[in-house]
Structure 1
């Protein structure tokens, strides 16, 4: 297998997952800042033009970071980062979906339409007029999530899962693109500090991350 990696939050989630699993995959870097992911030969592997992508030994490819994590968890179930029972897996997926649909997609699109506009305006449809509203919604949903986390060590309870990985990578990215969350929130503030203390947090940062630049 070969992982097509990049300096971006979604690929970082996969790198953090691999570190937590103790898995090592060969990687090839894709330069998303120059748009390499929107050109052949990358599009032959993933016509959606998004990173990461996982090239399998049979010549096929998988895309979408969460789908790749699901695939690798089935191949390497321990340590479980989704779950070992149907209920555990459902809870991890529940929290990951809550985070992605309510928070991280809004952070992502707000970046596309504001700070990232010069990079994306010739690549994808953009709506600069929507950026401020998306940022406001993301911050509201962060507070909404915080209210559900009383008594939780991790998002899914007492288990560290892909939901924690997903939210952490995107909140860390958000800080670097002018969308910081309120660290004084009573549950998410300490949660973010706990995740930051895991060795995989720092180790998953792309080697081309620069001080003051985009974190991914």
Structure 2
């Protein structure tokens, strides 16, 4: 397998997922800022022109972070980051979908249509007048999620899962592009510190 990566929260999710698995793959960086992802060699791998992308051993390619992580969880089942049972996998997928649709997507759109507009306006259809509303949607859902985190260690309960990785990577991204986690979200702030402790443990010496 080979992992095609770049800057941004989406590649970071897969990189963190691999680190949690203790799996190292051959990696190639694609220059997103220079538009390498929109050129023919890369488009042959992922016609959507997005990162990350995973080349499989049979020469085929997977894109989109959720299918990539699902595939990796099946190929490298220990530790399980989706779930070991049908019930656990369903719970993880439920939280991943909630976080992706309600927080990651509006946060990303808020960035692309505001701070990231110079980079994205020639690549995708942008709606700059909607940027503030998208950012507000993400903030509102983070407050909603914070209320649900009372008494919980991780997003899905007592299991560290892809849902935690997804949210963590996007919150780190948000903090860098003018969308920091509001300090009144005390449950999520404490959760962030728990995730940071895990990543520190897995950082190279």
Q: TM-score range by the shorter chain?
A: over 0.9
Task: Provide the C-alpha distance between the structure 2 equivalents of 1:196 and 1:202, rounded to a whole number of angstroms.
Answer: 10
Do the aligned partners of 1:16 and 1:201 also contact (CA within 8 Å) in 2? no
SS of the residue 1:187 aligns to: helix
Task: Provide the C-alpha distance between the structure 2 equivalents of 1:25 and 1:151, rounded to a whole number of angstroms.
Answer: 36
Size of the aligned set, in residue pairs, is 204
Which residue of structure 2 lines up, in the alignment, with residue 94 of structure 1?
Answer: 94
Task: Provide the C-alpha distance between the structure 1 equivalents of 2:168 and 2:4, rounded to a whole number of angstroms.
Answer: 21
Task: Provide the C-alpha distance between the structure 2 equivalents of 1:182 and 1:104, rounded to a whole number of angstroms.
Answer: 16
Aligned-pair distance for 1:182? 1.0
Aligned-pair distance for 1:65? 1.1
Which residue of structure 1 lines up, in the alignment, with residue 177 of structure 2?
Answer: 177
Which residue of structure 1 lines up, in the alignment, with residue 195 of structure 2?
Answer: 195
Q: Which runs of 5+ in 1 are unaligned?
A: 205-216
Task: Provide the C-alpha distance between the structure 2 equivalents of 1:174 and 1:101, rounded to a whole number of angstroms.
Answer: 15
Aligned-pair distance for 1:23? 0.4
Which residue of structure 2 lines up, in the alignment, with residue 212 of structure 1?
Answer: none
Greater relative contact order (CA < 8 Å, ≥ 6 in sequence): 1
CA offset digits 1:28-80 (Å, max 9, x no partner) = 00011111111110000000111000111222100011111100111111101
Which residue of structure 2 lines up, in the alignment, with residue 106 of structure 1?
Answer: 106
Do the aligned partners of 2:146 and 2:188 also contact (CA within 8 Å) in 1? yes
Do the aligned partners of 1:195 and 1:201 also contact (CA within 8 Å) in 2? no
Counterparts of 1:1-216 in structure 2, within 5 Å, are: 1-199=1-199, 203=203
**Distance of aligned partners of 1:200 and 1:6 in 2 relative to their CA distance in 1, 3 Å threshold:** farther
**Distance of aligned partners of 1:147 and 1:71 in 2 relative to their CA distance in 1, 3 Å threshold:** same
Please identify which structure carries the higher helix content.
2
Task: Provide the C-alpha distance between the structure 2 equivalents of 1:7 and 1:134, rounded to a whole number of angstroms.
Answer: 22
Do the aligned partners of 2:113 and 2:131 also contact (CA within 8 Å) in 1? yes
Aligned-pair distance for 1:93? 0.7
Do the aligned partners of 2:2 and 2:25 also contact (CA within 8 Å) in 1? yes
Task: Provide the C-alpha distance between the structure 1 equivalents of 2:33 and 2:201, rounded to a whole number of angstroms.
Answer: 23
Which residue of structure 2 lines up, in the alignment, with residue 207 of structure 1?
Answer: none
TM-score normalised by length of structure 1: 0.91
Aligned-pair distance for 1:156? 0.1
Task: Provide the C-alpha distance between the structure 1 equivalents of 2:83 and 2:59, rounded to a whole number of angstroms.
Answer: 29
Task: Provide the C-alpha distance between the structure 1 equivalents of 2:11 and 2:128, rounded to a whole number of angstroms.
Answer: 25
Task: Provide the C-alpha distance between the structure 2 equivalents of 1:158 and 1:183, rounded to a whole number of angstroms.
Answer: 24
Do the aligned partners of 2:53 and 2:63 also contact (CA within 8 Å) in 1? yes
